[in-house]
Amino acid sequence: MAGPGPVDGRFTVGVSRDFLDTDGRNVWGDIRLSELDAAGIDWHYLPRDTDELLATDIDGLDAVLFAAPAVTARTFTGLTRPPLLFARFGVGYDSVDLDACTRHGALVTITPDGARRPVATAALTMLLAVLHNVPAKDRLVREGRWSEREQWMGLGLTGRRVGLLGLGNTARDLVGLLRPFEVEVIAYDPYCPAETARELGVRLVDADAVMAEADAVIVMCVLTDETRHLVDARRLSLMKPSAVLLNVARGPIVDETALIEALRAGRVRGAGLDVFESEPPGLDNPLLGMDNVVLSPHSLAWTDEMSAGNGGSAVRAILDVATGRLPRFVVNRDVLGHPGLSERLGVPTRYGRAEVRT
């Protein structure tokens, strides 16, 4: 059972309230919070549902497990003691001010081990749905337009060339899922070692080559200043008219206005989007009226598998910090030199000398 709140002398955790529905049930189901109970850690849901964590939400906590709320510079204003850890339920951290967390000696972790397979599976699901025109064919049946089915001939995946923008852990998992389809995989990722790509059987190329050569381009990279609008009007113009574009990463990586224009002009066959530049998209967004586009509300990978995986990974990070160990998936590595972190963990952290879970 969740504790009533922070208790002096014990490690205390707050869980963001966006996990709960209006009836107080966790919408994600089992996210492994029982492991905190088993370890004797006090935890509670934060008192309010908020888009931005503030001092009134988290003051006095040792760790915060959160999904939707942003962590900003304002989060630390008025805190008497910053949390040791912000454990994000998911892999994206574009809503987290890493510099602010580092300045205040707070670790930030993500859950790539929990999201890896669910997101890879979601990408494959989206790819097949786009190639087979699944939503359009569903509408034909529901609207009594059976005779129009010849107009929606799909494309087979076997033997095609798939291009990945990003070859991180999740994309690498997708490469394995694609093997039975005997596809050729090319990828753009300036940070992926050539040896890793060779071991996967993936040919590394530049971003323009991915766009020009692939039958299906799948965006799987992290949103940064470098990748914002990586897929712009110029790169979309390089695609084959028979090719499709998928985005299962972050909306702003694709110039949505340019994509809409390319789809309208027939320069791209179709698209599959789990993410958008602005979420949720407006009801007047042209994408919502396009038959050759498959859409999902940034939740295609949401399954019980992801719930347990993300939750378990975040909880493991909390348990590590509670026992004086550095968790595995720290994204603001510069914080390891912060003297306040070393003192509160009780172990030296500069240059990462504390024990790290593997």
Q: Name the DSSP letter for residue 228.
A: T
Query: In the block, which residue shows the tokens 């997101």?
Result: 119
Identify whether 279 is a catalytic site residue: yes
Point out the catalytic residue in the list 279, 350, 353, 357.
Answer: 279
Cα torsion 157, 170, 26, 108 to 10°: value is: -160
What string of pLDDT tens digits covers the 358 residues of the chain? 343 333 345 899 999 999 999 999 999 999 999 999 999 999 999 999 999 999 999 999 999 999 999 999 999 999 999 999 999 999 989 899 999 999 999 999 999 999 999 999 999 999 999 999 999 999 999 999 999 999 999 999 999 999 999 999 999 999 999 999 999 999 999 999 999 999 999 999 999 999 999 999 999 999 999 999 999 999 999 999 999 999 999 999 999 999 999 999 999 999 999 999 999 999 999 999 999 999 999 999 999 999 999 999 999 999 999 999 999 999 999 999 998 888 888 766 543 444 444 3
Partnered with residue 12 across adjacent β-strands are 42
d(Cα 83, Cα 94) in Å, to the nearest integer? 19
Point out the catalytic residue in the list 250, 269, 316, 338.
Answer: 250
Identify whether 104 is a catalytic site residue: no
CA distances for 114 relative to 149, 260, 303, 312, 354, angstroms: 39, 33, 11, 7, 23
Point out the catalytic residue in the list 44, 161, 298, 328.
Answer: 298
CB 234 within 8 A of CB 260: no
Q: Which residues contact residue 301 at a Cβ distance below 8 angstroms, ignoring those fewer than 6 apart?
A: 115, 118, 119, 121, 122, 248, 274
Q: Which domains does the chain have, with CATH numbers?
A: 12-110+303-352 (3.40.50.720), 115-291 (3.40.50.720)
Identify whether 250 is a catalytic site residue: yes
